[in-house]
Chain A
Amino acid sequence: MSESTGQDVNVRTTAAQRATGTNTDTLLQTDGLVKQFGGFTATDAVDFSVEAGEIRCLIGPNGAGKSTLMKLVTGQHAATAGSIYFNGFDVTDDAPNERIDRGLSMKFQVPSVFEDLTVRENLRLPNQRLADGDERRRRVDEALAAADLADVEDTRAGDLSHGRQQQLEIGMAASLDPDLLLLDEPVAGLSVDERAAIADRIRTLNEERDVAFVVIEHDTEFVAEIADRVTVLHQGDIFREGPIEEIEDDPEVQRIYLGTDGDAEGDAR
Chain B
Amino acid sequence: MGTDAFPTGVLGRFEGPNTVGSGTRFWAALAVTVVALLAYPSVVGPFAAGQLTRYLVSAFLALSLAFVWGYAGILSFGQNAFYGLSGYAFAVVVGNLASPLGTTVGVGVAILFGALSALVLGYFMFYGGVRDVYVTITTLVVTIVLNTYGKTASQVFVGSVNLGGDTGVGIGEITLGAGPATYTLVQPATYYVIVAVLLATYLGLRALVNSDFGRVMVAIREDEDRAEMLGYDVKFRKLVVFTIGGGIAGLGGVTYMAWGYSITPEVVFSAAAAAYPVVWVSVGGRKTLSGPIVAAVAIEWLRTTASVQFPEFAKIGVGVLMIASILLLPDGVVPGLRGASRYFDRHGLADGSRLAIDRARRAVGRRVGGPIAVDESSEVVQE
Contacts and interface: CB of A to CB of B under 8 A. Distances in A.
B234 interface: yes
B231 A100 contact: yes
A7 B233 CA distance: 7
B229 A6 contact: no
A18 to B, nearest CB: 12
Interface string B259-288: 000000000000000000000000000000
Contact of B233 (A6, A112, A116, A117): A6
Q: Which DSSP category, helix, strand, loop or mixed, fits chain B's interface? A: helix
A180 to B, nearest CB: 13
Interface stretch (B113-121, B218-226, B246-254, B304-312): B218-226
Contacts of A121: 17, 215
Contact of A126 (B231, B234, B236): B231
A87 interface: no
B99 to A, nearest CB: 38
A125 B216 contact: yes
B226 A116 contact: no
Nearest to A98: B233
A128 B229 contact: no
Interface stretch (A47-55, A101-109, A208-216, A250-258): A101-109
A114 B232 contact: no
A104 to B, nearest CB: 9
Nearest to A129: B231
B212 A128 contact: yes
Nearest to A100: B231
Contacts of B231: 8, 97, 100-101, 126, 129, 176
Given A3-B212, A121-B17, A108 B226 contact: yes
Interface string B227-239: 1111111111100
Interface residues of B, number: 22
Contacts of A7: 233, 235-236
A76 B237 CA distance: 18
Nearest to B17: A121
A35 B319 CA distance: 47
Contacts of A97: 228-229, 231-234
A8 B223 contact: no
Interface in A77-130: 95-97, 100-101, 105-106, 108, 112-117, 121, 124-126, 128-129
A125 B215 contact: yes
A176 B226 CA distance: 13
A172 interface: yes
Contacts of A23: none
Contact of A5 (B225, B228, B236): B236
A114 B229 contact: no
Per CB-CB distance, the 4 closest pairs between chain A and chain B, nearest first, are: A100-B231, A7-B233, A112-B226, A6-B236
13 contacts: A5-B236, A5-B237, A7-B233, A8-B232, A76-B229, A96-B228, A97-B234, A100-B229, A100-B231, A108-B225, A114-B218, A114-B222, A129-B232
Interface of A: 3, 5-8, 74, 76, 95-97, 100-101, 105-106, 108, 112-117, 121, 124-126, 128-129, 172-173, 176
